[in-house]
Amino acid sequence: MPSPSGQVPSSVVVVGAGLAGAQTSAALRKHGFEGHLTVLGAEGLPPYDRPPLSKELLKRTEPVWLADDLGIDLTALADDLRLADPATRLEVDQERVVVRTASGDDVVADAVVLATGSAPLRPAGWDAAMTLHTAPDAERLRAAVVPGMRLVVVGAGWIGAEVAGVAAGAGARVTVVEAGPVPLERQLGHKLGGLLAPWYDDAGVTLVTGVAVEKVLPGPAGGVPGGGSVVLADSRVLEADLVLAAVGARPATGWLAGSLPLEGTGGLRVNRAGRFMGMHSPTDPAGRLHLDALRRIWAVGDIATREHPVFGPVPGGHWSAALHDPEITVRALLGLDERAAEPEHVRERLGLAPIHAHAPYVFSQQLGHDLALFGVPSPFDDVVLRGTPASGGWGALYLENALDRHPRRTPDGHRVATVRAMLLVDSPREVGQVRKLMNRGVPLEVDLDRALDPTVKLKDAVV
């Protein structure tokens, strides 16, 4: 319910003016919310899409504004729009929420939707390195990437690989340093990360793996901003005109410390509807919140660890979550679907329409290749290939490796496997059907022999 009395809130404050915050604002008005809507942003810019900042760094000279791309105009939606007055403190009780802003103002509302996104990690002492997260970051990096310039990227994750490929294609001399043994090991696992490693050499990028960065030193006074040197743990020194730290991101929830109990990663644990669950650790200074206070707190996008009917608690960081989850959350907040958090079998018994589930989704263009990842890979999954890298387009299935004493077989004797995640590489024609299969809201079970045959459509391998 949106409030302890079960009434629609008369005022809502959305904290965050990115994709998740913009989608939330649009959904509120679409579903008839006529109360006072306040939106707080941090960058001083209208909402824009972040993925193109790295993928299309040199192609786009300005952001992809959501007003143009999705038709979301916050100036028309919000009664009080503050794009450069970020939240600094949250207080919630049984009667209201109060958001303190950087300007010192207190915004009082019946409910709050937290959508502050993520912030890039910059290890202590790495002040000489730049990060890529905002439109100004992209503008600065774009100006620096010229033929012959020396770029050192620390981190071979999604952002690091995307920028490395774009910069090398523009004639820059690029070195990528990765502490792990292979690229994207944390995201895709060791086996698949190893298959991607040759892409760097093919793209003219030097890849250094298995060694950590000890420190990043600034360049000489008057040098290029972001320039300096990278000192590796094995004492090697890499000189650079620009150092890019691409070592990951964390939920931008530091301002909530002491107000709400946070996960170890800084995320907010929410239910399937997006309502904050108030998960509490005995050592958390935030303490426990009253149930009537919890009913006023909602979270979407990168900061929300959200319950999924197939994958369980899914941490934020997926573009698809910021795009789709606000719709479900707003319907629950406004009382239009008071059972949005219930499992589907309960909703079915109550005669309620199913809630369309969206599998976590990541799309990347890096080093001359396209990757699409659906689902949540686990280090404990069995990883099998559909096709081979040598054949061009290929894929990989992450199979749930449960302790099943009664493995299932098809009438033909083929193994029946549960697919936890699927990666598609340079396979645009398969993206649509895999999206449909992974979005069904039930575990994907396949005839493994047929699923691994690239001549068989994946939908025909479903059991």
Return the domain boundaries, the chain: 11-119+250-341, 135-247, 361-461
Tracing tokens 């009382």 back to the chain, one arrives at 335
Q: Are 189 and 377 in contact (CB under 8 A)?
A: yes
Tracing tokens 């915050």 back to the chain, one arrives at 21
Q: Are 150 and 240 in contact (CB under 8 A)?
A: yes
d(CA 205, CA 198): 10
In terms of CATH, what superfamily is 361-461?
Answer: FAD/NAD-linked reductase, C-terminal dimerisation domain (3.30.390.30)
Under DSSP, the state recorded for 217 is E
> Which of 119, 81, 118 lies closest to 101, judged by CA?
81
d(CA 14, CA 42): 12
Q: Which residues of 187-217 are buried (b: 16+ CB within 10 A; e: fewer)?
A: bbbeebbbbbbebbeebbbebbbeeebeebb
Q: Are 276 and 259 in contact (CB under 8 A)?
A: no
Instruction: Name 363's bridge partners.
Output: 372
> Which of 418, 428, 427 lies closest to 398, judged by CA?
418
Query: pLDDT tens track of the chain, all 463 residues?
Result: 334 445 789 999 999 999 999 999 999 999 999 999 999 999 999 999 999 999 999 999 999 999 999 999 999 999 999 999 999 999 999 999 999 999 999 999 999 999 999 999 999 999 999 999 999 999 999 999 999 999 999 999 999 999 999 999 999 999 999 999 999 999 999 999 999 999 999 999 999 999 999 999 997 644 455 678 999 999 999 999 999 999 999 999 999 998 999 998 899 999 999 999 987 666 676 778 888 899 999 999 999 999 999 999 999 988 989 999 999 999 999 999 989 999 888 998 999 998 988 999 999 999 999 999 999 999 889 999 999 998 889 999 999 986 566 788 999 989 999 999 999 999 999 999 999 999 998 999 999 999 999 999 999 999 9
Q: Supply 351's token pair.
A: 């005669």
Q: Are 181 and 209 in contact (CB under 8 A)?
A: yes
pTM of the complete model beyond 0.75? yes
> Which of 261, 271, 343 lies closest to 310, judged by CA?
343
Query: Identical fold at 11-119+250-341 and 135-247?
Result: yes
User: Is 3.50.50.60 the CATH number for 135-247?
Assistant: yes
In terms of CATH, what superfamily is 11-119+250-341?
Answer: FAD/NAD(P)-binding domain (3.50.50.60)
